[in-house]
Amino acid sequence: MSLDQVRSIADAVLYEGYLLYPYRASSHKNRSRWQFGVLGPPQAAAASFGEEPEMETQCLLAPHDGAAAVTVRLRFLQLQVREVRSTDEDGVEVPVERLTVDGASVMSWDEAVEREVVLAALPLEQATDVVHQIPGGEDTEPVADARGVVVGRIVRRRLPLAVRVRTRAVVDDGYVRLTVTVRNEHPEPAATKDAAIRRSLIGAHLLLSAHDAGFVSLLEPPAPAAAAAGRCRQRRCWPVLAGPKGTTDTLLGAPIILYDYPEIAEQSPGALFDSTEIDEILTLRVMTMTEEEKTEARATDPRAREIIDRCDGMSPADLQQLHGLLRDPHAPQPEALVSPPPDVRDVDPAAFDTAGAPWWDPAADASVRPGSDAVVIEGVRVAKDSLVRVHPSRRADAQDLFFAGQVARVTAVLTDVDGGTHVALVLVDDPASDLHDWYGRYFYFAPDELTPLTVEETARYREENRS
């Protein structure tokens, strides 16, 4: 298959955190970059100057009838220092933070160069251990004014890198467990944080292509592969199926956790290098930057210039496209309309009898009484003031996990519009439980995450609370 679709995802991983809003070199946010997929030089992590030098991923393959093989693509950024020098009247070059010529500015900055190491069609039955040398270099670019007079230079420098890639495979329950290890083998020690990052692989990730075999999802493995999938171990790399949904010939090993078949939203007009933000919000914030701020951003990096120019050139229709869509991915495809749909403004809303109560008054819906409604858990009726023990299990976040095994008092049993039941709680041992109850600040859990206390336990807790 073509790797174009997968590369769009891989590029988003590669440049994640490369440059953050407000996209200016002077911003504090952009003085600490390269957060993801950094493989530092050996010993840098122990000296607290850099990241660990190694990452490793394990994945499962189901071989076909032919000789199974895999192509390994290691992609990363090589840091490139861009130093701006100004030339004085005597021809002496002096490093400067910024050089402005005829109203256009260029700034000293750390850029990056994309690198890719390819190990093609490696037979699965053979182990591989190779070291690739990534050359360094220095490039110069003169800076001239409108008259053609050279007033400075841009010097770009890259340090050489060395990276070791190892592969090995073993059979596990009829599947092949492939291990790919990547290690930064830079021979020179780093004595400072800046020296370490210049000798690092940045945004490192893997693209694996299977030949005469198919990758197995580790997130949702088929039943026969579940045990083998559970034995796969990951270190600083997370493997997911990539490409068109349903295909199994490509796997992305990313330094961030993704789901199988990640996609770039078709509404996104271009990279913003910050997937933790919403495109629409970032775009609007860029559009509100002052002209001075935009000028500095354009001078910071060519990719920042692309972002500023793209946001400034967006039409109202482009912005509306960013606003989002409401869709049900599981809904059946609608049939073609014979006639135009009616205007929603001409449709009368459904009648809703509130028995004379205002629509916003809880009394308008007499079928719901959270204060007296109940739910049956393990054969026990649970309602307001019941005592239960909490066992978070439904995609529990870190805060919920702190409540595991805690005893809580039920304050209400609620039902949502989809028919789901939610139990509102306050923790019995929380010193602020009365305050939370008065204010209406509750924790919500599903019935299957709760266990009713026995009569004896309930009596004991109530007696302790009285004392």
Residues, the chain: 467
Q: What amino acid is encoded at 104 in this protein?
A: A
> Is residue 22 reached through a cis peptide bond, with omega within 30 degrees of 0 on the bond before it?
yes
Give residue for tokens 């946001």. 311
Interatomic CA distance for residues 324 and 307, integer angstroms: 20
pLDDT of residue 343: 47
Q: Which two three-digit tokens encode residue 129?
A: 């251990």
Q: How many CB atoms are closer than 10 A to CB 445?
A: 23
Query: Is the confidence at residue 364, as pLDDT, over 70?
Result: no
The b/e string for 334-344 (b: 16+ C-beta within 10 A; e otherwise) is eeeeeeeeeee
Q: How confident is the model at residue 318 (pLDDT cuts 50, 70, 90)?
A: confident
Give residue for tokens 């929380």. 430
Sign of the torsion angle spanned by Cα atoms 421, 377, 386, 383: positive
pLDDT of residue 349: 46
Question: How far out from the chain centre does Cα 397 lie?
Answer: 17
Residue-wise pLDDT for 21-53, tens only, equals: 888 888 888 877 877 899 999 988 888 888 999
Interatomic CA distance for residues 208 and 225, integer angstroms: 19
For residues 181-208, give the mean pLDDT. 93
Residue-wise pLDDT for 67-99, tens only, equals: 999 999 999 999 999 999 998 878 888 999 999
CA gyration radius for the chain? 30
Interatomic CA distance for residues 253 and 23, integer angstroms: 28
Residue-wise pLDDT for 391-428, tens only, equals: 988 766 777 778 889 999 999 999 887 788 999 999 99
Q: What amino acid is encoded at 240 in this protein?
A: V
Average pLDDT of every residue of the chain: 86
Q: How confident is the model at residue 141 (pLDDT cuts 50, 70, 90)?
A: very high
Which DSSP string corresponds to 336-380?
Answer: PPSSPPPPGGGSPPPP---TTS-TTSGGG-TT--TTT--EEETTE
pLDDT of residue 176: 96
CATH 2.30.30 intervals, the chain: 368-466
Those residues whose C-beta lies under 8 Å from the C-beta of residue 77, and which sit 6 or more positions away, are: 14, 15, 18, 112, 113, 114, 115, 201, 202, 203
Q: Are 45 and 38 in contact (CB under 8 A)?
A: no
> Is residue 342 reached through a cis peptide bond, with omega within 30 degrees of 0 on the bond before it?
no
Q: Give me the helices (H) in 108-192, please.
A: none
Those residues whose C-beta lies under 8 Å from the C-beta of residue 145, and which sit 6 or more positions away, are: 101, 102, 151
Q: Which of the following CATH numbers is that of domain 368-466: 3.40.50, 2.30.30, 1.10.3470, 3.30.43? A: 2.30.30
For residues 185-212, give the mean pLDDT. 93
Residue-wise pLDDT for 206-259, tens only, equals: 999 999 999 999 999 999 999 999 999 999 999 999 999 999 999 999 999 999
Question: How far out from the chain centre does Cα 350 lie?
Answer: 42
pLDDT of residue 248: 94
- The pTM for the full model equals 0.69
